[in-house]
Structure 1
Amino acid sequence: MFSGAQVSLYPMSDDFVGIILGAIGSLDPWRDRLRIETDSLSTLMVGPPDVLFPAMRDLFCAAARSGVHTTMHATVSRGCPGEPDDPICTPVAGPSRDLSLAERVEACRAVVATAPVLEQEISVQFSLYPLGVGHHMDEIYGCIEFLKTSGTFLRSKNFCTALRGDAGPVFETLSQAFTGFGATAGHLAMDVTVSANSPSDR
């Protein structure tokens, strides 16, 4: 299994270079469990989903704590048939596929309830794409049911779902959506946009 994320960070500040470089430093504690490569467009993080999402959370929160309006865009993927298996990417966390869809919804909800509170309010919109699954809509509807009872659900939007709340539970909601639904060995992709300190919220 190959899993990873391409992440781009956008602080709305004249000091964007300092904020971005400082935030990238927050990935240091994760470097023994992730392969991290940064270029002029994005940072690639390759590793297991249960590590990817906390690392993305810490990256974003480090920038958002500057107090400036900050956004982050991430494309997250697991099981891409065009990528080779990578030992660093295992194991994949998430509910056992021996569980029914309803049981997976409950298991994901229980994990979000234990997420740490980081005292950083964020907004997210994301879309989940389970690829190559015969009954992919069942998995999507199951994920939507989970999201609506996760405690972080804000509303459904065209082509995506909006979440809002503390960064800890919100990023855990994303992680559970990514690992809890879709085929175990199938290709699954997620498109995520995160925002904090937006003037629209004032």
Structure 2
Amino acid sequence: MKSSLSCGTSPIVGLRFSIHPMADNFVEIIKGALSKADTSNVWMHTDDVSTVMRGKEIHVFDTAKAIVLHAAATGAHVAFNGTFSIGCPGDTTGDSYLEKEDVLVNEPNVKDYRQYVSSQFGLYPMNNPDYMAIIYKEVERAKECGVFNESMHYASGLHGDIHDVFAFLEETFMHARSEQNKHLVMTVNMSINSPSHKGGS
């Protein structure tokens, strides 16, 4: 596929994230999660604050979920903070990864992991005057999907099995943008294996 990215119309999805294990061996947990996940379908770069991942939407979500699950599998209390973006003007770095086939390389290895997660997400449909209607619609969809937790200031709460939560987030990221308003930002915060979780398993 020949790259022909233009301002604001790029199909490439970006994610900037940080993982924070509440453990003395946090370096081992972070590096272990990054090495165990198959990152061959995404472009990645890590600095001293966070990691950026770019590629096709399905591969960004597939890789992100795998990294979080591998970190959580250590049993440590892990926090994940990420910002997803699509349609950002000037997005070009890593566009060669858009040529990757639509085959999920991580899902077969993590699909049997069961992991409770408490999460919060925020939607920012850029330049869309009907942004509140979009947000309300996705909150209602979260309720229908059985992953809605609670309403709160500046975010909406989600909880449940991590596969269900990630599936909802990926679908929301698709539904909340339109051909007229292609630039969308979504923030996600997750807490896993926290001693404060109630009813999670």
TM-score bucket (shorter structure): 0.7 to 0.9
Task: Tell me the residue number matched to 1:191.
Answer: 187
Task: Tell me the residue number matched to 2:82.
Answer: 74
Q: Determine the C-alpha separation between the residues in 1 that align with 2:176 and 2:36.
A: 29
Answer yes or no: is 1:177 the counterpart of 2:187: no
**Shift of residue 38, structure 1, vs aligned partner:** 1.4
Task: Quickly say closer, same or farther: Cα 1:34–1:165, change in 2 above 3 A.
Answer: same
- Ranges in structure 1 where 5+ consecutive residues have no aligned partner: 94-115
Moved over 4 A (4+): none
| Structure 2 counterpart SS, 1:132 | coil
| Mapped contact 2:61–2:166 kept (Cα < 8 A) | yes
| Mapped contact 1:154–1:164 kept (Cα < 8 A) | yes
**Shift of residue 30, structure 1, vs aligned partner:** 3.3
For residue 121 of structure 1, the aligned residue among 116, 119, 136 is 116
Answer yes or no: is 1:137 the counterpart of 2:132: yes
**Shift of residue 117, structure 1, vs aligned partner:** 5.7
Q: Determine the C-alpha separation between the residues in 1 that align with 2:112 and 2:83.
A: 24
Report the count of equivalent residues: 177
Q: Tell me whether 81-90 or 70-79 shows the greater mean CA deviation.
A: 81-90
- Ranges in structure 2 where 5+ consecutive residues have no aligned partner: 1-9, 103-110
**Shift of residue 199, structure 1, vs aligned partner:** 1.5
Task: Tell me the residue number matched to 1:96.
Answer: none
**Shift of residue 83, structure 1, vs aligned partner:** 2.2
Q: Determine the C-alpha separation between the residues in 2 that align with 1:26 and 1:62.
A: 7
| CA shift digits 1:40-76 (9 cap, x unpaired) | 2111110122221121111111111111110010011
For residue 52 of structure 2, the aligned residue among 44, 49, 56 is 44
Identity of aligned residues (%): 34
| Structure 2 counterpart SS, 1:200 | coil
Q: Tell me whether 137-146 or 9-18 shows the greater mean CA deviation.
A: 137-146
Q: Which amino acid aligns with 1:23?
A: A
**Shift of residue 159, structure 1, vs aligned partner:** 1.1
| Structure 1 counterpart SS, 2:92 | coil
| Mapped contact 2:139–2:148 kept (Cα < 8 A) | no
Task: Tell me the residue number matched to 2:23.
Answer: 13
For residue 62 of structure 1, the aligned residue among 30, 48, 70 is 70
Task: Tell me the residue number matched to 2:43.
Answer: 35
**Shift of residue 173, structure 1, vs aligned partner:** 0.8
| Mapped contact 1:125–1:193 kept (Cα < 8 A) | yes
Q: CA RMSD in A?
A: 2.1
Answer yes or no: is 1:83 the counterpart of 2:79: no
Q: Which amino acid aligns with 1:134?
A: P
**Shift of residue 135, structure 1, vs aligned partner:** 2.3
Task: Tell me the residue number matched to 2:7.
Answer: none
| Mapped contact 1:24–1:59 kept (Cα < 8 A) | yes
Q: Determine the C-alpha separation between the residues in 2 that align with 1:90 and 1:161.
A: 34
Q: TM-score, normalised by structure 1?
A: 0.80
More helix by share: 1
